[in-house]
Chain A
Amino acid sequence: MNQELIEVLKHCKPAKARQRLNLSARDLDARVLQLTESINGQDESPEGQAIIDYTTARTYESAAEANGTSGPLNYPPELGELRDWVCRYYRAQQRKYHTPEFLEQSRQSINEEEILAALREVGARGVVGIQDLIDGLEEEVKPGE
C-alpha cells in the first residue's frame, strides 16, 4: 500500500476513508485503461500481465461483495471495460491457433445433449474441480478409466 493511501487511512473516519479509497481506485482504473490503450496489440507483455493481475484483484473484490447472491455479477463500468480488455487480450494470443477451419470443426463436434447431461450431473452432485490434478496430488490413473 503506498504512503498516500496510508495517510488517507490515518486521518479519515471509516466511511470517509472508504469513499476516498473508492475515488483512488477509480483514478487507478482510469490510468490502467490509458495503459491498456497503449499496449493493445502487444503479445504477452509484462504490462499486460500487470493489468490482468489488477483486474483479477478488482474482480475478486466485486465477487466477494456479491457473495451469496445469484445471477450475473454487475461490475462497475470501468471494471467491465478492463475485463473486456483482458478477454480481448487473451483472444488475441490464441488467434493464431483458432483458424476459421479449426472453429468450424469444433462447432461440428459439439453434441448439445451431452452438454445438457453434464449440466444435470452438476445439478445432482455439485461442482468438481481439478485443483488436485494441478497440484500433482492426483491418484494413480486406473487402467481402463
Chain B
Amino acid sequence: MSETSAQSNPYRVSYTDFVRNGLANLIARAKERGLEAQVRAATRDIDYRLHIFPQFGDPVIDLSLASSQMRIGTVAPLVVKYALYEDLRLVIVSIPIATLPHSGL
C-alpha cells in the first residue's frame, strides 16, 4: 500500500484513504459491469502520469502554498483532481476519482 519502490520517480504520489476506498468500490462496480480492464488501465495510466508528468492535467486553481496548484486530468473513463506541489515534488489525490458521464459506471 505504501510507496516503497518509487525511488527514481520524479514525483511522489499519495492518495487518501477516502480516495483509495472510493477507487476500490469503483473497480468492484466496473467488474460487475464488465468494464474492469478499462478502469484498471485508466487507473494505471493516471498513476503513471502523476508520477512522471503531473503537469498533464489542466490547472484549475492556484493553492495558497507557493508553487502549488489544483489540476484536473482525464483518462477516459476516469477523471482525477489533484494537488501538485512542485517545490516538494509531491502530488496528493484527496478528492475521489470520478467517472465521465455516460461511461456506464
Nearest CB on B from A54, distance (A): 12
Give the total of B residues in contact with A, Cβ under 8 Å.
Answer: 57
Interface string of B8-37 (1 = CB under 8 A from A): 111011111100110111011000000000
Q: Are the C-beta atoms of B15 and A134 separated by less than 8 Å?
A: no
Q: Are the C-beta atoms of B40 and A136 separated by less than 8 Å?
A: yes
Q: A90-B49, A133-B20 are in contact. Are A98 and B83 (CB under 8 A)?
A: no
Name the A residues within 8 Å of B49 (CB-CB).
90
Q: A103-B72, A127-B3, A129-B2 are in contact. Are A115 and B83 (CB under 8 A)?
A: yes
Q: Are the C-beta atoms of A134 and B83 separated by less than 8 Å?
A: no
Name the A residues within 8 Å of B47 (CB-CB).
129-131, 134
CB within 8 Å of B: which of A65-115?
A: 67, 70-73, 83, 86-87, 90-91, 94, 97-98, 103, 106-107, 109-110, 112, 114-115
Q: Are the C-beta atoms of A141 and B64 separated by less than 8 Å?
A: no
A145 within 8 A of B: yes
Q: Which of B10, B24, B58, B63 contacts A141 (CB 8 A)?
A: B24
Alpha-carbon distance between A15 and B49 when the two chains are bound, in angstroms:
34
Q: A94-B73, A94-B74, A129-B1 are in contact. Are A86 and B53 (CB under 8 A)?
A: yes
Nearest CB on B from A112, distance (A): 6
Q: Are the C-beta atoms of A145 and B21 separated by less than 8 Å?
A: yes
Task: Classify the secondary structure of A's interface with B.
Answer: helix
Nearest CB on A from B17, distance (A): 8
Nearest CB on A from B95, distance (A): 8
Q: Are the C-beta atoms of A107 and B60 separated by less than 8 Å?
A: yes
Q: A118-B94, A141-B21 are in contact. Are A127 and B79 (CB under 8 A)?
A: no
Q: Which of B43, B56, B58 contacts A103 (CB 8 A)?
A: B58
Name the A residues within 8 Å of B28 (CB-CB).
141
A-B contact pairs, 27 of them (CB 8 A): A59-B52, A70-B89, A71-B87, A71-B89, A72-B67, A87-B55, A90-B49, A90-B53, A91-B58, A94-B58, A94-B73, A94-B75, A98-B58, A98-B74, A110-B70, A112-B63, A114-B94, A115-B94, A122-B14, A128-B1, A128-B15, A128-B16, A128-B17, A131-B47, A133-B20, A138-B27, A141-B28
